[in-house]
Amino acid sequence: MKHFVPLYFLCCLSFQVAKAQRNCASHEYLQQQLQRDPLLAQRIAAIESFQGRDVMLNGAEAPTPAVIKIPVVVHVLFNTSGQNISDAQIKSQIDVLNKDFRRLNTDTVNTPLMFKHLAADCQLQFELAKIDPDGRATTGITRKATSIMMYGLDDRIKFTSKGGLDAWDPDRYLNIWVGNLAGGLLGYASTLGCDKSIDGVAISPSAFGTIGAAGAPFNGGRTATHEIGHWLGLRHIWGDSYCGDDQIDDTPPQRSATRKCPTGVIITCENNPYGDMYNNFMDLTDDACMNLFTAGQRNKMRQLFQPGGVRHALLSSNALTATPITDPVRPIEEPVVLASNTVKVYPNPAITTITIEGKDGELVGKTVTIRNHLGQLAVQAKITKGNMPISVQHLRDGMYFIRIEGSGEVIKLLKGK
């Protein structure tokens, strides 16, 4: 229910505590992000203002196509074999998302009668990506064995250099990281307006999908449904404060989070006669109790795909439709050969920095280029000293090709552990 209170969106962090119920540490995570990025609050306010505009899904402002397809990449980080979840478990989660966001979930029969007329098909569809950022065919799943036993709220899971995996371009993909989260943490979503390198959701393998490592009462795939709701701009149904404002007109006011799986009418915040909408995906009940988004929530999420919205670029993603590239494209240059064996590059493989070493300063003043396997320029720098360090920390793991101006030699560089 809207009360027009100027509250900032708080991104959710769901915890599994001793009694197997969800909790939320939204405030801690948001404060952490605000400290890192002083301009984040302004961006959140601007996005919420845009997202709060009237939306007419069947009118002139309706985004096209009617059903929006969102390419997904799932990054699996595992310290034990049990955390290396199967493709089948991942696909079970995608199946849940498509049912929940299209209101095709079988438990719609459990939506209370007084709320059924408000329940909505959000017309959002999720599909594992078929094309990776380099244009090659992919299953939409990446995997990495890691020495890290647990990930916390510091977003290490989202960076290859910190033991996680780098995000794929969030203008083309929804990034989902699946890894062992500390302290019973079930999952969390990035804040709208955040840096692109951390854009997406992180989920524990024990709360992802419906089979394999997923465990009751969070084995219905609803943690990801809830977190993606946040990723698309929804607040908790109680507005993250006592009888607060979730900025949605058709959700009743509610005192606070609902736990476990209640029944009957629960009256709070003078929301009689119908009471709390604890079956909403944006409450904190068990998976078995969640079964609806409202029309207002649907409109708010889809507004982000309008021109000017932070998710609009996803409509142009070719990650589901492009023809994959099969052969690497090498850079074509006319070499002027230097003396042989004049260039050394180390370490190789590299993680953060390489050093380019030339004989007797012969390379100083020349340009070094690093290209990926498609021939796309990744790094270009002027060599200023005999032992020249170059950062490759920002590069994705994979094979690269190094050339020095005036040299016919191509040096292969492997980025990653």
Active site residues: 227
Detail the DSSP E strand segments found in 284-366.
Answer: 343-346, 353-358
Task: Determine how many CB atoms are found less than 10 A away from the CB of residue 19.
Answer: 7
Residues in the chain: 417
SS3 166: coil
Q: 72 — phi, psi (to 5°)?
A: -120, 140
- Helix (H) / strand (E) element for 401: namely strand 398-404
- Looking up tokens 């250099």 gives 161
Alpha helices for 256-353 (secondary structure H): 295-303
SS3 103: coil
Taking each continuous run of H as one helix and of E as one strand, the counts in the chain are 6, 15
- Helix (H) / strand (E) element for 390: namely strand 387-391
Distance from C-alpha of 383 to C-alpha of 372, rounded to nearest angstrom: 20
Q: 41 — phi, psi (to 5°)?
A: -60, -40
SS3 74: strand
User: For the chain, first and last CA: distance in Å?
Assistant: 50
Distance from C-alpha of 224 to C-alpha of 286, rounded to nearest angstrom: 13
415, two tokens = 């980025």
